[in-house]
Amino acid sequence: MSDVVAVETGLGGIGTRGRLSSIPPVILLCFLIIGGAVFVAIFGRLIAPYSPGQQNVANVLQKASAEHWLGTDALGRDILSRILAGARTALVGPIVIAAASMVIGNALGLLAGYRGGRVEAVIMRWVDFMWAVPGLLIMIVVVGQFGGGYWMAVAVLLVLTIPFDTRVIRGATLEQAPRPYVEAARSLGVSDWRIMGLHIWPNVSHVAVANTCLVFASSLVALSSLSYLGLGLSPGTPDWGLMVAEERNDLFVSPIAPLAPALAIVITATSLNLIGDWFYERLSSRGATR
C-alpha cells in the first residue's frame, strides 16, 4: 500500500512541475512587458536618446523618424525619451501602494477572519466606512487641498486601497478557519499568529497575489488619472499621465504624442491583470494538489 502511495505521489509531483513549467505565450509576453517596464523605470533616463526636458522649437510636433522614433511634442521634446524617463514615476507609486497594501491588508484580513468577535467587528466597520467613501472624490479633494504632490497622492491612494485587500483576505480566511488543519494546529498548542502566518496565509496566497497585481494595475491608472488632472506631478515632469494631458490638444495633429503614453499605461495595467489571473490559477491548483 505504501508503494502505491509513493508512486501516486511521485506522479502527482511530476504533473505539478509540468504544469508550472508550461507558461502560455500570452503570459510570457506579459512577463516580458513588465520586466521591460521595470528595467526602463530603473535605467530609463540612462538609455533615453535625449534629455526628457530638452526642447527644440525648430522640430515641434515632428512625426516619427530615424532621429526621433516616436516624434516630438509641442515643445520639440523627444516623446520616446519622455516615455522612458516617465516610467519611473508611473511604476514606483503603484509598487509602493501594492506592496504596502498587501502587507497591511493581509494582516488585517487574517486577523478579522481568524479571530472574529470584537476584533472583526472593529476592522470590518472601518472597512465598510471606507467602502462608502467616494474614493476618487476624496483623492481629488485631499490632494488638491494640500497642494498636490506625487507622494501625497500615493499616501491617499494607499489608505483607500487597504480596505479592499482587507475585505478580500478576510473572506478567504473565513473559508479556511473552520478546516481540520487549523483545528489540529490549535490542539497542538500552536499560537494564533503562527497559525495565521504559516498555515492559513499559504492557503490564501493565491488570492493575495492576484489581488496585489490588481491593486498595482488600478493604482497605475489612478495615479495617471490624477496626473492627467494636474494633481500629481508638477507640469513638465516626464510622466505618462501628465504627458497625455499635455498633448491631448495635439491629438489630430500628432496622434502619437498623447497615444504613446496612453498605450504604455494600458499595456502595463493589462499585463499585470493577466499575470495576476495566471498566478491565481497556478497557486490555486498547487494548493489543491497539496
Beta-bridged to residue 78, according to DSSP, are 72
Q: Which residues, including other chains, have CB under 8 Å from residue 116's CB and lie 6 or more apart?
A: none
The pLDDT of residue 56 = 85
CA atoms within 13 A on the CB side of 163: 17
Domains detected in the chain: 2-289 (1.10.3720.10)
Summarize pLDDT for 82-105 with one digit per residue, the tens.
999 999 999 999 999 999 999 999
CA–CA separation, 261 and 272 (whole Å): 17
The pLDDT of residue 139 = 83
Question: Over the chain, what is the mean pLDDT?
Answer: 86
Residues constituting the chain:
290
The Cα angle at residue 262 between residues 260 and 266, in degrees rounded to 5: 115
3-state secondary structure (DSSP) of residue 237: coil
The pLDDT of residue 132 = 87
The pLDDT of residue 148 = 66
Summarize pLDDT for 7-42 with one digit per residue, the tens.
344 444 444 445 545 789 999 999 999 999 999 999
CA–CA separation, 195 and 179 (whole Å): 12
The pLDDT of residue 138 = 83
Summarize pLDDT for 131-167 with one digit per residue, the tens.
888 877 888 888 877 766 788 889 999 999 999 999 9
Q: Which residues, including other chains, have CB under 8 Å from residue 185's CB and lie 6 or more apart?
A: 194, 195, 199
pLDDT score of 199 more than 80: yes
Q: How many CB atoms lie within 10 A of CB 209?
A: 17
The pLDDT of residue 92 = 94
Summarize pLDDT for 244-257 with one digit per residue, the tens.
998 888 888 888 98
**Grid cell of 212 as nine digits:** 496585489
Q: Where are the beta strands (DSSP E) in the chain?
A: none
- Banded model confidence at residue 259, pLDDT cuts 50, 70, 90: very high
